[in-house]
Chains A and B, each alone.
Chain A
Amino acid sequence: MSLPTLRRGELVRVALFLLAAAAVLLLPRLISDFRAQQYAYVGIYLIALLGLNVLTGFTGQISLGHGAFMAIGGYTTAILISDSDPALKIGSHVFSNDLKDLWTIPLAGLVAGLAGFLFGFPALRLTGLYLALATFAVAVATPAVIKKFEAFTGGGGGIQLFGLEGLTATPKTDPITFESTEGVTILGFEITTFNDWLYYLSWAIAIVMFAVAWALLRGRMGRAFRAVRDSELAAASSGVNLARYKTLAFGISAFYAGVAGSLLAIATTFVNPDTFPITLSIFLLVGVVVGGLGSLWPLVLGAVFIQFLPLWAQQLNGPLPDSLGPLSVPNFQAPGAPAVVYGVILILVMLALPGGAAGLVRRAQSLATRGYDRVR
C-alpha cells in the first residue's frame, strides 16, 4: 500500500502539527512541576475528547456515557498491574514487570474498543434521543456494576496501584519543596519527576492519537462518518454501510476512551467507582461542545477548559450573597459552583455559538475573507 498523498493545504497543516507537537513536548521545561501534572490531565482529557468527537461530532451518535468506556480502560489497566503474579503474558511473550503499565495502555484501549464495538450493535437501532437516553443510563449504572463484581474490581474500595512493581514511576512528594520526585529513565532520556513523566506519557500518546484521528477522518472513513451524521438515508443510498460505520465509530471512539481511562488510572495510581462518575461523562460532552462538534484542533481548548474550569470555579465557592433573600442559607463549604458554571457555559455556547471554539474561528475567518461561505 502506498502512502496516501497529501492534498494541497494539508502540508501546511502537517507542518503546523509538527511545530505544535514540538512545542508541547518542550513545555515542561518552562512550567512548574505542579503545572506539569495539570497539563498531563489535559492530555488525557484530549484523548477522550478526540474519541467522543469521532462518535458524536463526526458520526452524529450522541453518547452521554463515555465515562463508562473510560472505566473499562482504567479497570483493565488497574487489574493487569495489580495482578503482578503471574506476569502479563500474551501468546508466548511474557512482559516483565518493568514498564508493565505501558503495555496495559493499548490493551485497555482494545478491551474498551471491543466493548464499544459490541455496544454499537444494539445502538444501531437507537437513533437520536433514544441513544442519548440509553448511554445516559449506561453511565449512571456503571458504578453499580463495578461495585457488584467485587472479586475483579475491588468493589467500592477500588484498586490501589501506589507502589506496585508494575508502575514505571511512582509519585513521591518531596517533603520540603512539595515537588514530585522519583524520576525515570526511558529510551535514554532522564525524566526527573513523576509529574513530568506523566506529562510526557500522556502527551506523547495524545499527539500520536491526534495524528491517527486526523488521518482516519480525512479519507474515505471520515466521509462515510459525516455522511451518516448528515443523513442516514442519503448515506445508505449512496452505498455507505450504516451498520459497519456506526459500530466502527463506536469501536474507535471507545478505544480512545479506554486509553484515556488507562492513563487516568496510571496518573492517579488508584481506581474506584467514583473515579468514573456520571459527571465525567457529562464533562466530556461539555469539552467536545466547547471545543466544537466535528473539530479536532479546538478540542485542545475543550480539554483545557474541563481541566481548569473547576479549579477556577472553586474560588467562587462560598456562601451565596445574602441578597438572594429567602433562598440563601449561608454555608461555607458548599460544592456545586463549578457545576453551575459548567451548566451556564454549556447552555450559552449552545444558544449563541453552536460550533464551539471551532465555529468561532470559522466565523472569524469568513469575516476576514468576506468572500465565499460567509453564511455558514
Chain B
Amino acid sequence: MAAFFQQIVAGLATGAIYASLALALVLIHRATGVINFAQGEMAMFTTYIAWTLTANHGFSYWPAFAVTLLFAFALGLGLQRIVIRPIERGPILTTVIVTIGLVLIFNGAAGWIWSAEVRAFPSPFPNDTWNIGGVAISVQDVGTFGVVVVLVLLLAAFFRFTKIGLALRASALNPEASRLVGVRVGWMLGIGWGLAAVLGAVAGMLAAPTIFLDPNLMQAILIYSFAAAVLGGIDSPLGAVAGGLLLGVGLNLIGAYVDFVGADLRLPVALLIILVVLLVRPAGLFGKPVTRRV
C-alpha cells in the first residue's frame, strides 16, 4: 500500500508540471482561440536561460528563476506582438503553421546556442525524502507541487482582484465590447502570451532537475499537457489544473501497475486520452459544451 501512495505523490508532482503547461495552453486558447504548439519549446528555451545564468554567469538559483520569468514574459509578449498579431484573424491552418515554425526555431536555436548535450539542471530543493507513515515522499516532489500551487493561486488572485486581470478576462470574453470601454485588447492578448510563457518557464525549470535538460526536454511534456488541457476542457483554467494532476497520477499508476504499458507506452496512452475525450466529450470534464449556430 505504501508503494501505491508513493506513486500517487510522485504523480501529483509530475501532474503539477503538466498542469502548469496546460494552464499556459488554456490561457492562450481562451483569449485567442489559438493552440500554441510552441509552448513547450518556449518553456525549454527559457529553461536554458535559467541554466546558463546559473552555470555560466554565477547566479544562484532563485535570482536566476526570477530573471528567467521576466525573460519569459518579455518573450511571450514580444512573440504575440510581432509574429502572432499579423495572423490573428487568419485561418486556423495559418496560426497552426506559424506556431509550428516557432517550434522549429526554438528547438533549433537551443541546439545551436547550447548544443544538444544533456545538461544537469540545479534544483532548489534538497535531495531528501520524508517518511510519513511508511510512505517515502521526496522533498523535490513536494517542492515542485508547492511551487505550482503558489503560482496558480497567485495567478487566480491576479485575474480576480487586479484591474489588469479584469481587463484580461474582459478581452478574452468579448473583445469588441472591451475595446468600446477602453481596454487595449491587443496589449491584453500580448500580456496573456507573456503570462503563458511564464507558466511554461516554471514548468520547464521544475521538470529539468529530474529529467535533465536538452533541447527535447518539453516534447513529451507538451503532449501530456495537451492531454491534460483537453481532459479538463480546453477553455477551463480549473480544468487544466485538475486535468494535469489527474493525468500525472493516472499515468504514474498505469505505468506502475499495467505491465503492458510500463514506461514505454505512456505517450500513446496520452494520445488515446486526447482522442477519447475529443470524441466522447469534446468540452472536457470542466468545460461548457460549445453549441454552434448554423
Contact = CB atoms under 8 A, between A and B. Distances in A.
Interface of A: 56, 60, 62, 64, 122, 125-126, 128-130, 132-134, 136-138, 140-141, 144-145, 147-148, 233, 278, 282, 285, 289, 293, 317, 320, 324, 326-329, 331, 333-344, 346-347, 350-351, 354
Given A145-B265, A328-B113, A339 B93 contact: no
Given A140-B223, A329-B52, 10 more contacts: A125-B278, A132-B92, A133-B230, A141-B267, A141-B268, A148-B265, A233-B294, A328-B113, A343-B104, A346-B104
B115 A285 contact: no
B83 interface: yes
B98 interface: yes
Interface string B94-121: 1011101111111111111111100000
A272 B8 CA distance: 35
Given A140-B219, A339-B105, A339-B108, A350 B97 contact: yes
Interface stretch (B9-17, B186-194, B197-205, B269-277): B269-277
A337 B114 CA distance: 12
Centre residue among B87, B93, B267 by max chain A CB count within 10 A: B93
Contacts of B86: 351
18 contacts: A60-B93, A129-B34, A134-B271, A137-B223, A137-B271, A140-B267, A141-B223, A141-B268, A144-B265, A278-B219, A329-B114, A335-B112, A337-B108, A340-B112, A344-B101, A350-B98, A350-B101, A351-B87
Contacts of B111: 334-336, 339
Interface string B39-56: 000000000000010001
B57 to A, nearest CB: 7
Contacts of B112: 317, 320, 334-337, 340
Nearest to B86: A351
A329 B113 contact: yes
Nearest to B262: A148
Contacts of B56: 326, 329
Contacts of B83: 347, 351
B220 interface: yes
A134 B100 contact: no
Contact of A133 (B35, B90, B101, B113): B35
B37 interface: yes
A64 B222 CA distance: 15
A147 B264 contact: yes
B150 interface: no
Contacts of B100: 64, 282, 285, 346
Given A138-B271, A326-B57, A329-B56, A335 B116 contact: yes
Q: Closest 4 A-B residue pairs measured CB to CB?
A: A339-B108, A336-B111, A343-B104, A343-B105
Centre residue among B97, B106, B227, B274 by max chain A CB count within 10 A: B97
Contacts of B274: 133-134, 137
A324 B99 CA distance: 24
A136 to B, nearest CB: 7
Given A144-B268, A329-B113, A342 B93 contact: no
Contact of A339 (B107, B114, B115, B264): B107
Contact of B107 (A136, A141, A336): A336
Contacts of B265: 144-145, 148
Interface string B118-156: 000000000000000000000000000000000000000
A343 B113 contact: no
A346 B267 contact: no
Contacts of A347: 83, 98, 101-102, 105
A140 B265 CA distance: 12
Contacts of B282: 125, 130
A211 B106 CA distance: 38
Contacts of B104: 282, 339-340, 342-343, 346
B180 interface: no
A337 B110 CA distance: 10
B78 to A, nearest CB: 14
Given A285-B100, A320-B112, A339-B111, A354 B270 contact: no
B264 A148 contact: yes
A320 B90 CA distance: 34
B215 A336 contact: yes
B123 to A, nearest CB: 22
A299 to B, nearest CB: 16
Interface in B71-92: 83, 86-87, 90, 92
